Chain A
Amino acid sequence: MSKIKDKKVLVVDDFQTMRRILCKQLVDLGFTRDNLYEAADGSEALEIIKDHDFDLIISDWNMQPMTGHDLLVKVRQEPRTAKIPFVMVTAEVSPDNVFKAKESGVDNYIAKPFDAQTVRRKVETVFGALE
């Protein structure tokens, strides 16, 4: 199994500051900056996914024009991407949202605003314990 520094992650959020915060967190956890990709909404993410094999997708929910939930559904429908771990990071934290995301195949869910420990725990559920 390749090391954390070799893992490719796609961070999807319509707020550039949030993408920056998440990428910084991931770098602090051992990911390589060059392996972190960013998209501002679901449709932009799908374009990037066409050209890369990702080990993890971290996505916001409420984006325009394509939401994170729609992205999740599309990713799960496509055999090549169906198994990519998908973590939702969102302020949409009603039980209905969480249930809907689980039903659509999300692997984990982070409520905004979050802390560094939460990001670490959720990444560890995907890749195992980090150093």
Chain B
Amino acid sequence: MTTENAPCGIEAGLMATEEGRTFLRNYRSRVTHDAVARLQGTLDALRLESGIATGAGGGAGASGESELVVLFRKIIDKINEARSELQSIASMARERETGDINAVEDELAAIISDTERATNEIMDSADAIENFLRGDAGGELPEELRREILRKCADITISCSFQDITGQRVRKIVEVIQHIDQHISLIEHNLGTPVRDPEGSEIDASRRAQAEAGLLKGPGLPGSAVDQSAIDEMFSDPPAESS
């Protein structure tokens, strides 16, 4: 005997298996297709009844189409638009399945490790020059020149902090990609495909909360962040000497 809740039970039963989910997807697609076809049929009928020729036309005034026909045309256009967007999302999801998004993340991670390696090599060289200058051989140079080269070596080391900033900017990009990835997963979930478990640890939750509060934005663009002198004022530090 069928009951009011029977359709839900049938759908839940179908969602439990891959074949069932495929059936539901195909069924939804077929129903949508049929609905569009019916709308098109209705539109054609309206055209015939109102004596309007088929084919592309202008607005209500220009072609003589009634307001209702124009409205139906717009609805059909929107449905077709939505269908092509869904196809494009499905295509992105398929790309993700083949690992394209993971590959992009790997490429970005490689930027971090490559710049890290290069930065370490630069710092190794600066250290080697410093050690040379602090050793016996350094004594052969005029003192002022030796000090100046040491200062420049320190500057080189400090400048290597660009790698940290670069890394953080790349991570921001990775996070945006992951955010898009999660949205695709959500769409897949709504279409009946399992989505990964979004639960995380307490630490993850705290990090997420800080991100949502806008406290984990990473390096800002020039002009968008407070500078060191403004921070110093907030800590009532002695003013920075010009360097």
A binding-site residues for B, Cβ under 8 Å: 13, 15-18, 20-21, 24-25, 28, 43, 61-62, 64-67, 69-70, 91-100, 102, 107-118, 121-122, 125
Contact = CB atoms under 8 A, between A and B. Distances in A.
Nearest to A117: B243
A97 to B, nearest CB: 5
B243 A98 contact: no
A88 to B, nearest CB: 10
Contacts of A113: 158, 161-162, 164-165
14 contacts: A15-B167, A20-B120, A25-B158, A61-B215, A69-B210, A93-B226, A110-B228, A111-B226, A113-B162, A114-B161, A118-B228, A118-B240, A121-B238, A121-B240
A95 to B, nearest CB: 6
Contact of A15 (B163, B218, B237): B163
Interface string B27-40: 00000000000000
Contact of A67 (B154, B168, B210, B241): B210
A117 B157 contact: no
Interface string B201-243: 1011011001001111111100001111001001101101101
A94 B164 contact: no
B234 A102 contact: yes
Interface in B134-179: 154, 157-158, 160-165, 167-168
A98 B157 contact: no
Contacts of A67: 206-207, 210, 216
Contact of A28 (B154, B162, B219, B228): B154
B207 A92 contact: no
A109 B203 contact: no
Contacts of A109: 231, 234-235
B102 interface: no
B237 A21 contact: no
Given A93-B226, A109-B231, A121-B240, A70 B203 contact: yes
Given A13-B164, A92-B216, 10 more contacts: A16-B116, A67-B210, A91-B218, A95-B226, A109-B231, A111-B228, A113-B158, A114-B228, A122-B237, A125-B237
B123 interface: yes
A18 B157 contact: no
Contacts of A100: 215
Contact of B220 (A61, A65, A94): A94
Among A21, A95, A116, A125, residue most surrounded by chain B Cβ atoms (within 10 Å): A21
Given A43-B203, A91-B168, A121-B238, A24 B231 contact: no
In order of increasing CB-CB distance, the 9 nearest A-B pairs are A91-B219, A18-B164, A93-B225, A15-B164, A65-B203, A113-B161, A17-B163, A17-B119, A117-B243
